[in-house]
């Protein structure tokens, strides 16, 4: 089927961005810039790997006509929605907790939040 | 009472999505599954009726807002998210960063709107929401502050998050 190539493309994009997110964790200097790499890149990559699963499930539904393909696709959609809703909230909570416990951004040109606290 | 009905319906729809493919009554579901789903969603709706609709504000029941939300999710939001990831990939490889925490004032009033905008900002180009104060002013960690922006009291909102406040006003307020 032609969807096979689509699956390869989705997995390729997903793995590339997940890998870049992990490299970003090692390369960036402080908590906040690391959170940039960790949240954005891994959310985006996980969406694309999940889309590969959805494409495969619909292909199997079309080829075999069995209901488990539909179940798998819908459950993966629910997982994508949960990921999109909870990931930014978690990043926000970590960043806020870090700033409250006194971890300042390294090499920062401006820090308005620190000025407010004084 | 309305809060109870909304919570029960949302729970029931989630139950139906999770159990699709269990039979072939009404396309995908079996009758026993549907009866059990109604029973469970009534129980869950009764227990949690005061949490989902805490603000007693029902403007999100309007279907036009759902349509706008879907348009936003697949159009500007997804495009901005793809751009954000390419931008982060560029900064991971080259290491060119100029970080800073700036203030923006999006002039939103409701809690729902500010949550929506903060989540959108976290997932899009080079910005991460750090804190919100009582006047709905957002503190945003920006990975690459342009020259001159750090001296202003409030940063330029178009440079931080583009057209998102406009979309937030359409969808959530």
What local confidence, expressed as pLDDT, does residue B41 receive?
Answer: 92
What local confidence, expressed as pLDDT, does residue B107 receive?
Answer: 79
What local confidence, expressed as pLDDT, does residue B42 receive?
Answer: 92
Tokens 């960036």 belong to residue = A28
ipTM of the complex: 0.79
- A115 neighbourhood in chain B, CB within 8 Å: none
Pair B70, B7 in one domain: no
Strand duo B127-132 + B138-142: pairing: antiparallel
What local confidence, expressed as pLDDT, does residue B78 receive?
Answer: 85
Is A114's Cβ below 8 Å from some Cβ in B? yes
pLDDT for B26 beyond 70: no
- pLDDT band for position B82 (cuts 50, 70, 90): confident
Pair B40, B122 in one domain: no
Question: What's the predicted TM-score (pTM) here?
Answer: 0.82
Please give the tally of structural domains in chain B: 2
Is A43's Cβ below 8 Å from some Cβ in B? yes
**Contact criterion met (CB < 8 Å) for B21 and A68:** yes
Pair B125, B151 in one domain: yes
B44's tokens: 């869950």
CA dist., res. B159 & res. B89, Å (int): 20
**Contact criterion met (CB < 8 Å) for B103 and A112:** yes
pLDDT in tens, B133-156: 877 788 888 887 777 766 777 777
Pair B38, B80 in one domain: no
**Contact criterion met (CB < 8 Å) for A36 and B129:** no
pLDDT in tens, B49-78: 887 777 667 777 778 888 888 888 888 888
Which of A36, A77, A89 shows the shortest C-beta gap to B88? A36
- B21 neighbourhood in chain A, CB within 8 Å: 67-68, 70-71, 74
Under a CB-based contact definition with an 8 Å cutoff, are residues A57 and A76 in contact? yes
Tokens 């709706």 belong to residue = B45
Of B12, B38, B56, the residue that ends a domain is B56
Pair B8, B40 in one domain: yes
Could you list the residue range(s) of the whole structural domain that residue B166 is in? 64-172
Pair B92, B125 in one domain: yes
- pLDDT band for position B6 (cuts 50, 70, 90): confident
Under a CB-based contact definition with an 8 Å cutoff, are residues B172 and B116 in contact? yes
Pair B84, B115 in one domain: yes
Which of A67, A77, A112 shows the shortest C-beta gap to B139? A112
Pair B98, B142 in one domain: yes
Pair B52, B68 in one domain: no
Residue B163's CB is within 10 A of a number of other CB atoms, namely: 12
**Mean pLDDT over all residues of chain B?**
81
CA dist., res. A26 & res. A93, Å (int): 21
**Chain A residue whose CA is closest to B82:** A44
- pLDDT band for position B83 (cuts 50, 70, 90): confident
């Amino acid at each position: 089927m032609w969807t096979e190539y689509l699956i390869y493309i989705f997995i390729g994009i997903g793995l590339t961005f997940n890998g870049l997110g992990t490299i970003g964790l090692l390369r960036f200097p402080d908590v906040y810039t690391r959170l940039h790499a960790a949240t954005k890149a891994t959310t985006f990559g996980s969406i694309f790997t999940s889309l590969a699963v959805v494409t495969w499930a619909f292909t199997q539904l079309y080829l075999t006509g069995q209901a488990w393909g539909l179940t798998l696709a819908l459950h993966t959609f629910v997982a994508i929605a949960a990921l999109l809703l909870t990931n930014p909230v978690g990043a926000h909570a970590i960043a806020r907790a870090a700033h409250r416990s006194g971890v300042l951004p390294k090499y920062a040109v401006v820090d308005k939040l620190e000025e407010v606290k004084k | 009472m309305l809060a109870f009905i909304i919570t029960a319906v949302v729970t029931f729809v989630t139950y139906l999505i999770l159990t699709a493919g269990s039979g072939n009554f009404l396309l995908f579901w079996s009758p026993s599954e549907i009866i059990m789903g109604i029973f469970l969603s009534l129980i869950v709706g009764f227990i949690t009726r005061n949490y989902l609709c805490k603000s007693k504000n029902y403007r999100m029941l309007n279907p036009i807002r759902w349509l706008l939300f879907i348009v936003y999710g697949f159009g500007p939001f997804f495009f901005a998210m793809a751009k954000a990831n390419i931008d982060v990939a560029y900064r991971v490889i080259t290491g060119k960063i100029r970080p800073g925490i700036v203030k923006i004032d999006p002039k939103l009033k409701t809690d729902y709107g500010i949550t929506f905008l903060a989540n959108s900002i976290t997932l899009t180009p080079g910005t991460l929401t750090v804190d919100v104060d009582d006047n709905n002013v957002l503190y945003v960690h920006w990975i690459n502050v342009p020259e001159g922006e750090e001296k202003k009291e409030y940063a330029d909102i178009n440079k931080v998050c583009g057209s998102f406040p406009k979309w937030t006003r359409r969808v959530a307020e």
